[in-house]
Amino acid sequence: MATNFTKELQVKPGTKIRLSKYDPEETLGWHKGRKVQTSLSETIERMDDLQYRLYAERKRALLVVLQGLDAAGKDGTIRHVISGINPQGCKVTSFKVPTSDEAAHDFLWRVHIAVPPHGDIGIFNRSHYEDVLVARVHKLVSKEVWSRRYDQINSFESMLGQNGIKVLKFFLHISKDEQRKRLLERIDDPDHQWKISEADFRERKFWDDYTAAYEDAIRNCGTKEAPWFIIPANKKWFRNLAVSHIIAETLEEMNPKFPAPTVDISKLKLS
């Protein structure tokens, strides 16, 4: 099945988003089974080859931003999609509550130092968008402060693009019922009980507030250089398939090339 996931799931810059209009069960006609597994495996192989070329070229980098409500599947996406990439050229950064040192700087300081160097793929598990999401919902700063951050984020991401850093931003879209199901599954599964936090359950009370905050963030900070993708994520297999295809399609568009040898190959001899 030929599907251009980038075209299908990318949000047009400036679009007024209503997440209620996006079906988190959508699969674009795909059905769970062998074809999905084959496509995912082949796509991960493509990503690995393209990442190797990107690493060799060392002129550009790719930054993947994963955002979503609790239990949306950020960890699972990283585990399944990035599994085939050489860890030497890939780094995952998780953004928690700012440390005292981080909080003493501007909100982008800790993010900028985690941006991947040329040749690498960087994965952000949560990101600078927390400062227009959590900070807004819980009133950690005034509206005057968080509303200014949209332009600051756009300038930051534009600067990255001008310096060879391609930015992809994924919102993993799940329903409230699906979140409830996943949180309850953690309670019943000893292997996942360690992931449970009281905050996850408390945050459900702010579902509508977070939805509004995400809608504004996607509308205000979606650009051609750093696009947003809304990924239907109720079905984990489709989430993994879609994200992997978009990353691979982006790397193919970047078309990294192997650099020329730094030595004269014809003169190399083994004794």
Q: Which two tokens stand for residue 129?
A: 């968008």
- pLDDT-derived band at 149 (thresholds 50, 70, 90) equals very high
Render pLDDT for 166-224 as a digit per residue (tens, 0 to 9).
999 999 999 999 999 999 998 888 877 887 778 778 899 999 999 999 999 999 999 99
Give residue 45's pLDDT. 95
Structural domains for the chain: 31-256 (3.40.50.300)
Give residue 1's pLDDT. 63
Task: In whole angstroms, give the CA distance from residue 202 to residue 14.
Answer: 32
**Residue among 27, 51, 24, 75 at smallest CA distance from 247:** 51
Q: Which residue, chain included where needed, has tokens 């993947």?
A: 64
List of residues 6+ apart from 185 with CB closer than 8 A: 192
